[in-house]
Amino acid sequence: MEKFEVVIIGAGPAGLSAAKILGESGKEVVVLEKKEKIGPKICAGGLTYKDFEIGIPTSLAERIFQSIKVHSFGKTIEVKREKPFVAIISREMLGQWQARQIKKNVEIRLNSEVAGIKENSILLKNNQEIGFNYLIGADGSLSLVRKYIKLPTRKVWLAMQYTLLEKFNNLEIFFDKNLFGSGYAWIFPHKNHTFIGCGNNSNFQNMTKLSKNFQQWLKEQKIDISQSKLESFPVNFDYQGFNFGNKFLIGDAAGLASGLTGEGIYFAIVSGQEIAKKILDPSYNLSGLKKILRIKKGQEKIGRFLMFKVLKSKILTRFLLKRFL
């Protein structure tokens, strides 16, 4: 049986950020990715400038915006800033870039789907067994590692979107409490296509109701999706801890996503970095993790607020967007 100091399940932003730090510190690491390629994932791809502050180069952005159009019950407010503050990125490009930053002591294995987890080893679907000293679950909202440690997931942000080849000029967000509860719909223009989608907290709205309301909204907006396929995905924001013996959870697997926006990239990268540092130094105080937990808590308070308020005030909209982003 092969054995590595650290086995990471999932080659997304969280898993790759953890692997980079661990590898640079001399740990022998293997990253197991079930897909045949690093990066592709159903995701709108929105970033704010806090993402670039943690090392993502702005050159990866497909488009950068210094304004957002916010719609709420028939009223449109355009929020502008002097400097660009929102960017749209390809998840595939981000993943490939992260992989290139990993220089040593890390092996990334594609087409490596995990079938089972034991106390100190994992079993792949090809019946190969790999031992570990530490296991990191970076395997998303439906995490096998989370299931193994019997951690329930009760808070899920439901999202769905279409990919349109039509190019849109503006980044837009649509609040409509009647259709999307505390969630919202979005138009995220990429370089050669546009993502149009919606999302909401599953505690306020199930997938069937959300889908029905989304179709109603698309008709109202006169958006033709006849040539597009609807894709849906859950986002786990039910954080209940990260350390379970010699097993760790990061990113969506840990519930480290926003219950307001569905945002996960920033939380994923920071949590991967933080847990890697904790493995290397058990006395590390996790200052970065504490910061993202504060952001997450604040955003989810806003979500509860939006269930009862309509954004018609420009001052209120600016304040909430500052916290939102």
pLDDT digits (tens, 9 = 90+) for 284-312: 999 999 999 998 888 777 655 554 454 44
pTM of the model: 0.91
DSSP 41: -
Structure confidence by residue, pLDDT tens digits, 167-221: 899 999 998 888 988 788 999 999 989 999 999 888 888 899 999 999 999 999 9
CATH number of the domain at 2-154+235-324, please?
3.50.50.60
Exposed e or buried b per residue across 162-173, where buried means at least 16 C-beta atoms within 10 angstroms of its C-beta: bbbeeebeebbb
Q: Look at residue 81 in the predicted model and tell me its pLDDT.
A: 81
Strand ranges, E, within 33-120: 46-48, 61-65, 67-72, 75-80, 86-89, 106-109, 114-117
Would you tell me how many other CB atoms lie within 10 Å of the CB of residue 312? 12
CB 300 within 8 A of CB 320: no
Three-state secondary structure along 169-220?
A: CCCEEEECHHHHCCCEEEEEECCCCEEEEEEEECCCCCHHHHHHHHHHHHHH
Taking 70 as the pLDDT cut, the residues of the chain under it are: 302-325
